[in-house]
Structures are given as structure tokens and as C-alpha cells.
Amino acid sequence: MSKKDHKRSRLPNKAIAVVTALVLGAGGVAFVAANASAGGSRRDAAQTGQQAGQQAEQAGASTIACPDVGDRLRDVPQQAKPEVDQNLAELDAQVAESYKKLAAGQWEAGTSLGELQQKRSGTIAKIDNAIAQVAQPPAGLDELSACAMKATDVKPGDTGGGQQDAAAVQDGQVAQDGQAAQDGQGVAVQDQSGQAQNKKQGKGPSKADFVDITKVRPNVVKPRARAGASTGSFTSRCGRNEDKHLNPDNVIVAPGVSNGAHHMHDYVGNKTTDAFSTNDSLAAAGTTCTNGDQSAYYWPVLRVQNAGQGPDVNAPGGGQDANVGTILQPKSVTIRMDGSAVSKVTAMPRFLRIITGDAKAFTNGTANANASWSCTGFENRQLKDKYPICPQGSDVVRTFNFQSCWDGKNIDSANHRTHVAFADRNGACAKGFKAIPALVERITYSVPQGSRIAVDSFPEQLHKPVTDHGDFVEAMSDRLMRQAVNCVNSGRRC
């Protein structure tokens, strides 16, 4: 390994070139190139541009796909970590800002990607240099600066699934001032101008991202418990975020960075969790959990898309980052730790950090997409890349299964993944890993029939369901963790 130390050009007069057709829709822009013949009229060019726009609308929108630098890091020295984290967050901010230009029609084909690459190259060099101060930097980071356009199935006018031309109102309840009614039963009514704006900009997801859960075949397979298995469970009752603890931070991925997530998170458990939390501040904080569990449990909020209503419509993580609509409060939240199908479990170390799922799975690929969607009464059918359309009387369910194998040494890793792992299909941990309590978070929502829903996401991820993810910082007292392990290993339900 080695250390790795606008103008728009004028078009020729002989040809009128329609270089790009920019079609606003679903938060993305589709690109079509077409050339008019030499000597063509302005009307010809306009007609060509109109045809290109129609083709683009049929083809769907594009988004920006950049290599995930953070996911490639395997070992960052502790001395370099603050600077590396800051610059990784800056890479996310650069993509988010570029995407906003793309969605606003301010993107210049042939130059904007180059400008983004130049910014990313400088920031990646800072990451490389920060590591090089104390250790040999990883090879090939500079090769991750180039981004590309990714075609999507999101089309102009795609704003979600179900019956979407009017905001849903259930049982005559309408939320006021953009606030969801208790338990998320009501939805603010759209006005005509807001509805038109929503259709113009789109936000994603696409209609293809939704599926009728009754049409899905059962697909859940659990490993059979063997002799020596730990069959108990330990539950923390932490409420439904009644205190409205919300922020667009992520203390695991972007510590010290406000709006590091570019989407809003729901929190239960630790009452003070934000970008600036430390182990000491978490240990000193209060909790919403009735058993004193001070752990931080958080996930992206789920919204009903209703023309940008809501108190954060102009705020970072909200409307500024293309996350619009009324935030639904969970109907229920279950925080449970289960055992291993093949062995006893060992205690988690305090301040262990785990992320399940991938917030960038739409552009990264689905290798780390572990969150799943379902409906009450149908939870033997789990979806990773679709939102469920639930029948009348059934609630939407999000389930986060966390990695249950730990390397026995580290409370975190450079990419926040390699210090933990999932058990294999038989429930066993790989060599060098030991079984820990398996955290399962289950969140339900009452979604009015016919409403369109979308999980908060990075802007360029277009609210795809496959980007759902959950985050966890273990902050139980040693006594409470021992109690959890004893319950799990002894087969009790606590």
C-alpha cells in the first residue's frame, strides 16, 4: 500500500444541440441527449427538446451514485478518527447538495459530475492524510472520488403508493397544523397548490416500491434451536417517543456533526442522544425505558407524504433534505434481546455500537440491507425492498434484526460493521466471533388506508424502502446487562 499524497462550452453554430432534457420528478432528473440537424429552426429545437422530455418522463428519473468511502475503511487509528469522521460527513453533504441542484434543474451535464468529483477528491485526500499521520493509509481511496448517474424507476408524478391524489382522512380525524393525530391516525389535508408542487417535484418513492402484503408468500425461516441454545428473552419498555425526541444527527456515523444523517431520526431510550453525545454523557442521561436502560435506540422516521406539511418542512433533515410530510408517531415500539440457536450468549460491552441495514442501499447495493417491512397478521412475510400495503385493520410493521455475533474486542469499527456480524443460517457465529444477545426492534404504525408513506432518507436515495436501517448504542449498566444475559441464557422471559 502506498500514500496518496464554468463555464459551459458554447455549441457550434452549425448544430443546435439539445444536450440535456431535465425532467423534474420524484426528486430526480432524467437525462436525454438529442441533436437537431444543421440549420434547424428554434421551433425544431423546441420540439426536439419536448420529445426528449417526454422520453425522459417515460424512462424515469436519475439519481447520483457515489462510492461509499466509509464502507471501504477497515482500520482507522483512534487519533485520526475525529478528522476522518468529519470528512466522511462532508462527503455526504457534498452529494446531498449536488442532488438538490439536480432536483432543482440546476445540473449541467458534463460539468456537474466533474465538479462533484473534484470536491470529493479533495475531501478524500484529507481522510488519507489524517490516517497517514499515524499509520499506513488504505490503498485506492482516491479511486472512490468519481460518481455516476444511476437510472431509477421513479417517474415524474410518482409520490408514493396506494390512492394518492388526495390526502387520506380516517374516521373523520384530520391533523391540525401539520401534526399527526395521536397514534398517527390523522393526516393534514393537502391544498391544491401544495399538491401541484408535490407532483412537480416528486420525492419518491416509486409506485413500484409498494406491494399488497396479501400477495406475498410466507418467507420467514428461523434456525431450529439445538442443545445448549439460549432460548430466553429480555425486553426493555421504552415508550413510543412520546417526548418527540427527533433530530437529523447520527452519533455513530457522524459524531460531532449536526444534520450528519440528512434525515430525521426517532429516538427511544437515552433522552439526550444527538451528534455530540459521548459515552460519559450517555451514561449520565435519563431514559424513557422503565427498567433504567440508558441505551440509545433510533431509526429514520416514517412519514405520510402530504404536500410537505409538518413543522420541519423548512428544516435540515426535513424539507431541506427532501424529507417532507407528516411524521407518524409509532403505535408501538418493542425492544427485545433474544438468544442464540446454538449456544449461550455473552454480555455486550457497554457502549457497543451496531448499525443494521444500509441508509445508502439504493446506490450501494443490497448486501447490507437487513431491515424489513410487513403488516400485523402477516409477519411471516417480510419485505426488504418494498413497502407493504396492509389490509383494513392491519398496521405497518418495521423490524430491525441486529447482528448477534461480536469480535470480542471492539465496541465499534471504522465502517461500523466489521466488529459485529450476523449468525449463519444455522444460528452459529463465525470463527473468532462470540454470540451476544440478539437485539430485535419492532415498530408498528397506524397508517390511514390509501395514504402514501415514505421512510426518511438521504436525498439521493429517493426514500426507497431498501434504505431503512436501525442504530443502537448499548448503554445499560453492567448490572442490567448481567440481568439480560441471565434471562436469555436461562430460557426465561423478562
CB atoms within 10 A of CB 235: 18
Which stretches of 52-93 are assigned E, i.e. beta strand?
62-65
Work out the average pLDDT over 402-424.
97
Which is higher by pLDDT, 450 or 4? 450
Q: Are 289 and 269 in contact (CB under 8 A)?
A: yes
Which is higher by pLDDT, 156 or 436? 436
CA–CA separation, 113 and 95 (whole Å) = 10
CA–CA separation, 17 and 9 (whole Å) = 12
Lowest mean pLDDT among 151-155, 213-217, 329-333, 457-461: 151-155
Q: Looking at residue 200, what DSSP letter applies?
A: H
pLDDT band at 306 (very low <50, low <70, confident <90, very high): confident
Q: How many residues does the chain have?
A: 494
Work out the average pLDDT over 244-249.
98
Can you say whether residue 466 is alpha, beta or left, with left for phi > 0 and alpha for psi between -120 and 50 degrees? alpha
Rounded to 10 deg, the angle between the 81-103 and 112-132 helix axes is 170
Q: Are 470 and 355 in contact (CB under 8 A)?
A: yes
Q: State the pLDDT at residue 62.
A: 87
pLDDT band at 2 (very low <50, low <70, confident <90, very high): very low
Q: What's the farthest any 2 CA atoms get from each other in the chain?
A: 84
Work out the average pLDDT over 354-383.
97
pTM over 0.95? The answer is: no
Whole-number percent of the chain with pLDDT over 90: 70
CA–CA separation, 427 and 168 (whole Å) = 43
Lowest mean pLDDT among 58-72, 90-104, 363-377: 58-72
For the cut 80, the answer to whether the pLDDT of residue 35 exceeds it is no
Q: State the pLDDT at residue 220.
A: 94
Q: To which H or E segment does residue 56 belong? A: helix 42-59
CA–CA separation, 126 and 132 (whole Å) = 10
CA–CA separation, 343 and 340 (whole Å) = 6
DSSP annotation string for 268-329: EEBTT-STT--HHHHHHS-BS-TT----EEEEE-EEE-STT-STTTTSTTTGGGT--SEEPP
Q: State the pLDDT at residue 137.
A: 87
Cis peptide before 205 (omega within 30 of 0): yes
pLDDT band at 93 (very low <50, low <70, confident <90, very high): very high
CA–CA separation, 415 and 392 (whole Å) = 41
Q: State the pLDDT at residue 171.
A: 31
Q: Are 68 and 365 in contact (CB under 8 A)?
A: no
Q: In what order do the strands lie in the sheet with 396-401?
A: 233-236, 332-338, 438-445, 396-401, 372-375
What number of CA atoms fall less than 13 Å from residue 282's CA on the CB side? 27
pLDDT band at 305 (very low <50, low <70, confident <90, very high): confident
For the cut 70, the answer to whether the pLDDT of residue 57 exceeds it is no
In tens, the pLDDT along 127-180 reads 999 999 999 888 999 999 999 999 998 877 665 433 333 333 233 232 333 333
Q: State the pLDDT at residue 158.
A: 66
Please name which of 112, 178, 121 lies closest in space to residue 148, comparing C-alpha atoms: 112
Whole-number percent of the chain with pLDDT over 70: 78
